Amino acid sequence: MRNYNRRKRVLVSGGAGFLGSHLVERLLDRGDEVLCVDNLFTGSKRNIERFLAHPRFEFVRHDVTFPLYVEVDQIYNLACPASPVHYQHDPVQTTKTSVHGAINMLGLAKRLNARIFQASTSEVYGDPAIHPQSESYWGNVNPIGIRSCYDEGKRCAETLFFDYHRQHKLDIRVARIFNTYGPRMHPNDGRVVSNFIMQALRGEDITIYGDGSQTRSFCYVDDLIDGFIRFMDLSAGADGSPGFPGPINLGNPVEFTIRQLAEMVIRLTASPSKMIFKPLPADDPMQRKPDITLAKKYLNDWAPSVSLEEGLNKTIRYFEEFA
Main-chain dihedrals φ then ψ at residue 231, nearest 5 degrees? -70, -45
Catalytic residues: 150
**pLDDT tens-digit map of 283-323:** 777 888 999 999 999 999 999 999 999 999 999 999 998 87
Span 138-165, mean pLDDT?
Answer: 94
Q: What pLDDT sits at residue 280?
A: 82
Question: Using CA atoms, how far apart are residues 280 and 239, in angstroms rounded to an integer?
Answer: 51
User: Per-residue pLDDT for 18 more than 90?
Assistant: yes
Q: What angle do CA 8, 156, 158 make, to 5 degrees?
A: 40
Question: Using CA atoms, how far apart are residues 190 and 194, in angstroms rounded to an integer?
Answer: 7
Q: What pLDDT sits at residue 237?
A: 61
User: Per-residue pLDDT for 89 more than 90?
Assistant: no
Q: What pLDDT sits at residue 188?
A: 84
At 14, the pLDDT band (50, 70, 90 cuts) reads: very high
Continuous segment of H or E residues that includes residue 167? helix 148-168
User: Which of 83-92, 152-161, 228-237 is the most confident on average?
Assistant: 152-161
Q: What pLDDT sits at residue 1?
A: 42
* pTM confidence score: 0.93
**pLDDT tens-digit map of 195-244:** 999 999 999 999 999 999 999 999 999 999 999 999 999 977 655 566 89
What is the DSSP annotation of 188-227? TS--HHHHHHHHHHTTPPEEEETTS--EEE-EEHHHHHHH
147 versus 183: which is more confidently predicted?
A: 183
User: Per-residue pLDDT for 26 more than 50?
Assistant: yes
Query: How far from the centroid of its chain's Cα atoms is residue 175's Cα?
Result: 9
User: Per-residue pLDDT for 57 more than 70?
Assistant: yes
Q: What is the CATH number of domain 9-179+221-252+289-305?
A: 3.40.50.720
Buried b (16+ CB within 10 A) or exposed e, 52-88: eeeeebbbeebbbbeebeeebbbbbbbbbbbbbebbb
Question: Using CA atoms, how far apart are residues 301 and 127, in angstroms rounded to an integer?
Answer: 28
**pLDDT tens-digit map of 100-119:** 999 999 999 999 999 999 99
Report which of 179, 131, 125 is spatially closest to residue 152, judged by C-alpha positions: 125
